[in-house]
Structure 1
């Protein structure tokens, strides 16, 4: 990922959602990063609906 601040935010989300660390490693692969970001955003939205 190019934007370091955004990457840090995504990493925090991965940690808060208690997802596997390989998601963090996948952020360095451009093809996988897009899917990881979509997944994280989807899970964050679902998580917020529960609270």
Structure 2
């Protein structure tokens, strides 16, 4: 799971997936791609993976 912060909304759909299409059709796709890539890197730097072991009885 990643942490969504204020301002992250422009990079996410309501289901939490990332938007790879810029919000404005006149926006440069290459610039948007780089912004999304950097945004995803922020998610990875902020993740603290936890392992849960569940025992099925």
- Whether TM-score is above 0.5 comes out as no
Task: Please tell me whether Structure 1 or Structure 2 has the larger radius of gyration of its CA atoms.
Answer: 2
Q: Give the number of the structure whose residues are more often helix, by fraction.
A: 1
Instruction: Give me the TM-score of the superposition, normalised by structure 2.
Output: 0.40
Instruction: Give me the TM-score of the superposition, normalised by structure 1.
Output: 0.44
